[in-house]
Amino acid sequence: AQTVTQSQPEMSVQEAETVTLSCTYDTSESDYYLFWYKQPPSRQMILVIRQEAYKQQNATENRFSVNFQKAAKSFSLKISDSQLGDAAMYFCAYRSAWISNMLTFGGGTRLMVKP
Amino acid sequence: GAGVSQTPSNKVTEKGKYVELRCDPISGHTALYWYRQSLGQGPEFLIYFQGTGAADDSGLPNDRFFAVRPEGSVSTLKIQRTERGDSAVYLCASSPGGSGNTIYFGEGSWLTVV
């Protein structure tokens, strides 16, 4: 079974600075998808960014980018120019390319943004 | 609708009671998922529907939990003889189906069993 580990329960960043959230995963599959979701106090999980494992190029969405290291099974999220609205729980998630029924989530990282 | 809609938003029930949680997915989405999120943890998979049938219910913790999706749209998660350990946020999600499609989540139903 796949597992996803987020080793940072909490992170703090100064507004306008850059922060990196870590995620590692374990799988025996070669084809899969990785995601970062943001969960604000409203509880809704909002997709931040996704990465297909077969793509070597790291995904980027505006201020959000990932560092995908397939051999190391590492998938970190970098947030540039942090904003107060970025404060939330961030979850890393794994999804098999062959078994489409579920996302496997990490335990989450709480990001605090200081003004 | 514009997004995944879940009702009720919050539910407080007494231990031993029966509860139903409803999910209205994004129109046209064939895949529907239920997850459970305990306080301070990531969501855990419960069940997945493709159309009307439960394609994978391996995440349901025991036979007190049951879910249906009779017409391939709205789904109801049913919990019998609730226990205090069932207290959690129950998240519903939907997607167009297929492993590559994005899964969209609702805001969840926060169940408290007292």
Q: Tens digits of per-residue pLDDT, B43-95?
A: 999 999 998 888 889 999 999 999 999 998 999 999 999 999 999 999 999 99
- The tokens describing B72, both together, are 């391939």
Distance from CA of B107 to the nearest CA of A (A): 4
A105 touches B at CB < 8 Å? yes
Mean of the per-residue pLDDT values for chain A? Answer: 94
Contact A43 B55 (CB under 8 A): no
Find the closest chain A residue to B54 by CA distance: A101
Angle in degrees, CA B34, A44, A19, rounded to 5: 120
Residue A41 pLDDT level (bands cut at 50, 70, 90): confident
Residue B105 contacts residue B3 (beta carbons within 8 Å):
no
User: B59 vs A42: CB contact, 8 Å cut-off?
Assistant: no
* Residues of chain A found within 8 Å of residue B89, distances taken between Cβ atoms: 43
For residue A4, give the nearest of A96, A110, A100, A87 by alpha carbon.
A96
What is the percent of chain A where pLDDT is above 70? 97
DSSP E strands in A22-97: the ranges are 24-26, 32-39, 46-52, 60-61, 64-69, 74-79, 88-96
Q: Which pLDDT tens digit goes with each residue over A46-78? A: 999 999 999 989 999 999 999 999 999 999 999
Contacts of B23 in chain A (CB under 8 A): none
Residues of B in contact with A8 (CB under 8 A): none
In angstroms, the separation between the Cα of residue B54 and the nearest Cα of chain A is 10
Which pLDDT does position B99 carry in this prediction?
Answer: 65
**Tell me, what's the pLDDT at B55?**
84
**Of A57, A98, A46, A10, whose CA–CA distance to B91 is shortest?**
A46
CA pair distance A88, A109, nearest whole angstrom: 8
- Check: CB of residue B30 under 8 Å from CB of residue B88: no
Which of A44, A47, A106 has its CB closest to that of B42?
A106
Place of tokens 């129109």: B27
Which residue's entry shows tokens 């600075």? A17
Of A88, A85, A82, the C-alpha closest to A111 is A88
Decide: helix, strand or coil at residue A80. Answer: coil
pLDDT tens-place string over residues A88-101: 999 999 998 877 66
| pLDDT at B97 > cutoff 80 | no
Q: What is the pLDDT of residues A7-32, one digit of tens each?
A: 999 999 999 999 999 999 999 988 89
Q: CA of A100: which chain B residue's CA is closest?
A: B99
Q: Report the pLDDT value the prediction gives residue A100, as an integer from 0 to 100.
A: 60
Exposed, middle or buried, A30 (CB in 10 Å: 0-12/13-18/19+)? exposed
Q: Do the beta carbons of residue A95 and residue A29 sit within 8 Å?
A: no
Residue B7 clears pLDDT 70, i.e. is over it:
yes
pLDDT on residue B1: 52
How is residue A59 written in tokens?
A: 């995904």
